[in-house]
Amino acid sequence: MELKNLFKLTALSTALAATLGLAGCGGDININTGSDTVTPTPTIPTIPTTPTETAQQKSYSGFATKSTTFASVDGKEVWELKGTLAPSTAASTISTGGQNGDKIVLGNDVVWLLNGAVVAGGDNEKSVELAILPGTKILGGSDSYLVISRGSKIMAEGSATAPIVFTSAETALGQPGEAGQWGGLVLLGNAPVNTCPDLANCDASFEVGNHSYGGDNTQDNSGVIKYVRVEFGGFKINDTQEMNGISFAGVGSGTQVDHIQVHLNNDDGVEFWGGNVSISNVVLTENFDDSLDWTNGWQGSAQHVYIRQADNGSNRGIEADSNKSASATPMSKPTLANITMQVANGTHAGGDDAEGILFRVGTGVTAYNLLVKGDVDSGECLEVNDDNTVNNANTGELTVENSLIDCVEPFKNAKADAAEGRTLALDVKAWYQGQSGNLVGASDLTDYMPNSSSVALTGGKADLSNLDDRLVDAPYIGAFDGTTDWTLGWTTAIHGDTAPAPTTLPTLTSCPVGTTAETVVAGLYKDDTVTLVCTLQGNVLNNTTLLAGQNVMYKIDGGAVVIGGDKTNSATLAIQAGTKLFATDNSYIAVSRGSKIMAQGSAAHPIEMTSQQDVIAGATGERGQWGGLVILGKGLTNTCPDKNACDASFEVGDFPYGGNDNTDNSGQISYVVIKYAGFKVNDTQEMNGISFAAVGSGTQVDHIQVHANGDDGVEFWGGAVNLKYVYLTHNFDDSLDWTNGWTGKAQFVYITHEDGNANRGIEGDSHKGATDTPVSKPKLANFTILPGTDIENASGDKGEGILLRVATAGELYNVLVQGRKGSTSTTESGECLELDGSYAGLVDNVNNNTLTMSHSIIDCNEPFKYSSDNAATANAVNVEAWFMGQEGNATTAVTLTDGMPAATDAALIGTGKDLSTDDNFFESTNFIGAFDGQNDWRQGWAYFPQ
């Protein structure tokens, strides 16, 4: 789906309001009590009462309206700002926030939503002071931005523990934040700008919205911006009009700006048009065009700036201009100090190379302690361009001292070019190295922090405060002293600490694009908080996101819901954390080759897929009530002789799968619970909870549960997809099943059976043809399998542990199989480890050690079985001897509580094999089974059957 269209707020508000109105329709419900006689009750006149205003209504109704787009975000009401914010003559309404005359306070007791261009004050008239309290969140839609007019002020004073965050409306719904989802923050001041010949009568026009800026007051004060984060901004109007994260247009030195971050902006991070404002402690990360950009006479300062570009997603770290006319005044000449710049690799989507610093168009600069680090595919790290800038370099108006360039391509020279009107050249390397204290060499950093041996710690310019009173002393090169990290606590995306998901899901008032709303009948669903049901059906050919909400469920209906076409019209089905889906009896989801599912749940907000009966009042969830999830990939399957022309047919629906790419990426399935799936078409066509058909290793699968499926829990047909943290409960046939060449990996798998309603914990096959490749050869570690009793299920199969057959190979480590321990078939499990050599390939795999099992325990009354219908291979393998002859194996009795051993269990803890030393997919372990005796990785997200 095109999210920018979803968040055109005027249209969206109308649609949501209409949906909300429909949800409340239906009239009164009258109940007959069965009484034969009804005694009229006298009518008693009521005294009209005045509705009680909430604290928020009292505070904010004078300049804002309660949102009809969002009911709540982060558990708070959402209030909308629109148009011009003007002074008021009414009595003060300030409590947490509110208005008193020309002062407007945005409180942190609500979340704020910008609708279009929100402008604080008039142009040097009807001025206001817009204060924003620490910890406040401000959301922007696709055409929204905030402007502080000339003469007005913003007082956005956050703190390290409670930063003020400007972010996109999408993030409030749990959507991923992306560049360009809203506008940004614009400050307009009365300071000089060199596009105005007469500064006393200056009305320069800002590039978006034609807002006026500029003047003759170098000390103009536009307020305070402190501990403020601006994320996912920069919407584009056309090729010349784009929004920056924070735009400073003619802003004066009286304005205080420190501890700001601009993250993932679609144009520049921070840009200056003239003015004298200074900034410090600045973080600019993954911005698309230039991270720090100035033009038209900026003469402020910038100190302690960290710039990190995005590979194939950014242009320059610094792009610096003044004016094409050398006589235009004031000339841009800021002072820079203590900047660390990490230059990216590659080119961004506009075709521009990732580069470091470009000084051009007549800019001057005084710079100290710059650190620029490039990579193997970075562009030039320091470039000087055009005649006026070369003149500045030669006359001392452009200087760089005590700086360090650590780049594969450190410099790019200015060259004469008659076609471009340039007559002067400059050897940038010689110019740079001819100035005091400059270095070219290794920076010796860990991420952005200099190591104790780094020359950056000792090579910086000292006594900066004596050179420029806007600077503080920082006698090291770069933004960091090797000890203090001033970015901690208030920034995002640089410490593995991206903005946390809301602790509570939002309340939605309309269905996402790509789904349709159905009327919710009161009392129909078990969860009476559900007011919105959105249906997904048919062939989904556009990217579609199922938004999480505390009041919404999604209905999978009409048979197969197919994502994308087969290797054409690819689409992504994104499912947010906390989303709940249910399906009708004949329905399931199939993800085509080339398309993706991004089901990204979390421990706090897992994604649940279940049957319609499980959510309808008065009904009961049972196995086989819907289909399940089918992922079709382009990996290898041994049913295709020609892997380059492979179109294997999935057993339900005839969907094609297979190919020649075992690294294929079908998306992500994390923290997902699937219940009561697995409907049966006939005796040979049944649905599994999750079917992985030739799915490649580029797909991420972790923290999944399949419960009470009508056939297998999870099955693989070839491919190389890997799994971790898997909980398979009460599935009817096999819990984990593979065939046709699966070569993936799995770690931490816990399997339990329901007595009389299960077959095997693991059933592993390859292919009947001895020459069919690839041979199934998964690598498995840390399994706990608790098979059911040795009595038949409805299909005649009994509860068993592991069956390896039909020529499969594989490596099994740290496996625990503990069967039921009764004295009869109704109280004990069947065989816990069986090899079936009916096909000679399995015997060959045993003999050539391509089928192995070590550091494992079988704790069962019937531990081993060898079976063969082939006279040539009958009794060819002694399963007990094979198992006991490998390292670390035993048939020891152990004690478990719901699969968990005691932390002091000497048989299981400390006896496992650590596979992480040889294969980085596997986590380091020293135990046998799925659990270490202390940590239960199911907690918080899994469904625990009663």
Q: Which of 611, 608, 606, 569 is nearest to 591 (CA)?
A: 569
Q: H or E segment at 13?
A: helix 9-23
User: pLDDT tens digits for 753-769?
Assistant: 999 999 999 999 999 88
User: pLDDT tens digits for 100-110?
Assistant: 999 999 999 99
The string of DSSP codes covering 566-582 is TTBS--EEEE-TT-EEE
pLDDT band at 24 (very low <50, low <70, confident <90, very high): very low
pLDDT of residue 38: 38
Contact 757, 788 (CB under 8 A): yes
| CA–CA dist 775, 637 (Å, integer) | 9
| CA–CA dist 587, 592 (Å, integer) | 16
pLDDT band at 30 (very low <50, low <70, confident <90, very high): very low
Sequence-distant (≥ 6) Cβ neighbours of residue 151 within 8 angstroms = 121, 122, 123, 124, 125, 127, 190
Q: Which of 759, 769, 697, 771 is nearest to 730 (CA)?
A: 759
pLDDT band at 172 (very low <50, low <70, confident <90, very high): confident
DSSP tally for the chain: helices H, then strands E? 10, 60
pLDDT at 279 over 70: yes
Sequence-distant (≥ 6) Cβ neighbours of residue 205 within 8 angstroms = 211, 212
pLDDT at 141 over 90: no
Q: 3-state DSSP call for residue 265?
A: coil
pLDDT band at 176 (very low <50, low <70, confident <90, very high): confident
Three-state SS annotation for 612-630: HHHHECCCCCCCCCCCCEE
pLDDT band at 48 (very low <50, low <70, confident <90, very high): low
Q: How far is CA 802 from the centre of its chain?
A: 37
Q: 3-state DSSP call for residue 436?
A: coil
What are the C-alpha distances in Å from 840 to residues 131, 743, 837? 78, 20, 6
| pTM score | 0.58
Task: For the chain, give the longest Cα–Cα distance.
Answer: 106
Rg of the chain over Cα atoms, rounded to whole angstroms, equals: 33
Buried b (16+ CB within 10 A) or exposed e, 476-485: bbbbbbbeeb
Two structure tokens written together for 639: 């049913």
pLDDT of residue 23: 30
Q: Which of 131, 163, 162 is nearest to 148 (CA)?
A: 131
pLDDT band at 256 (very low <50, low <70, confident <90, very high): very high
Sign of the Cα pseudo-torsion (468, 473, 477, 483, in order) = negative
The string of DSSP codes covering 164-222 is EEEEEHHHHTTPPP-TTSS--EEEE-SS--TT-S-GGG--EE-TTTT-EE--S-TT---
Mean pLDDT of the chain: 91
252-278 mean pLDDT:
98
Sign of the Cα pseudo-torsion (921, 924, 928, 929, in order) = negative
Contact 204, 273 (CB under 8 A): yes
Q: 3-state DSSP call for residue 392?
A: helix
Contact 580, 554 (CB under 8 A): yes
Exposed (0-12), middle (13-18) or buried (19+): which is 172, by Cβ within 10 Å?
buried
pLDDT at 859 over 70: yes
pLDDT of residue 238: 67
Contact 414, 422 (CB under 8 A): yes
pLDDT of residue 44: 52
pLDDT of residue 503: 60
Two structure tokens written together for 507: 């309340």
pLDDT at 497 over 70: no
What are the C-alpha distances in Å from 766 to residues 741, 779, 866? 5, 14, 18
637-664 mean pLDDT:
95
Point out the least confidently predicted range of 164-168, 263-267, 566-570, 574-578.
574-578
User: pLDDT tens digits for 585-598?
Assistant: 999 999 999 999 99
pLDDT of residue 260: 98
pLDDT at 116 over 90: yes
358-364 mean pLDDT:
98
Contact 861, 819 (CB under 8 A): yes
pLDDT band at 403 (very low <50, low <70, confident <90, very high): very high
Contact 219, 251 (CB under 8 A): no
| CA–CA dist 145, 78 (Å, integer) | 17
pLDDT of residue 660: 97
Q: Which of 930, 931, 933 is nearest to 782 (CA)?
A: 930
pLDDT at 115 over 80: yes
| CA–CA dist 133, 371 (Å, integer) | 35
pLDDT of residue 45: 52
Point out the least confidently predicted range of 32-36, 698-702, 892-896.
32-36
- Ranges of beta strands (E only) in 831-938 are 833-836, 851-854, 857-859, 864-867
Contacts of the segment 918-926: beta carbons below 8 A, 24+ positions apart: 919/745, 919/779, 921/722, 921/724, 921/745, 921/747, 922/745, 922/747, 922/781, 923/724, 923/747, 923/748, 925/747, 925/781, 925/782, 925/814
The residue to which tokens 């008039």 are assigned: 122
Q: How many CA atoms lie within 13 A of 388 on its CB side?
A: 19
307-336 mean pLDDT:
97
pLDDT at 29 over 80: no
293-315 mean pLDDT:
97
pLDDT at 485 over 60: yes
Length of the chain: 946
Point out the least confidently predicted range of 203-217, 328-342, 618-632, 682-696.
682-696
pLDDT of residue 420: 87
User: pLDDT tens digits for 873-893?
Assistant: 999 999 999 999 999 999 999
pLDDT at 478 over 60: yes
User: pLDDT tens digits for 411-435?
Assistant: 999 999 998 899 999 999 999 999 9
Sequence-distant (≥ 6) Cβ neighbours of residue 946 within 8 angstroms = none
pLDDT band at 51 (very low <50, low <70, confident <90, very high): low
| CA–CA dist 518, 535 (Å, integer) | 7
The string of DSSP codes covering 17-67 is HHHHHHHT-S---------S--PPPPP-PPPP-PPPPPHHHHHHTTT-EE-
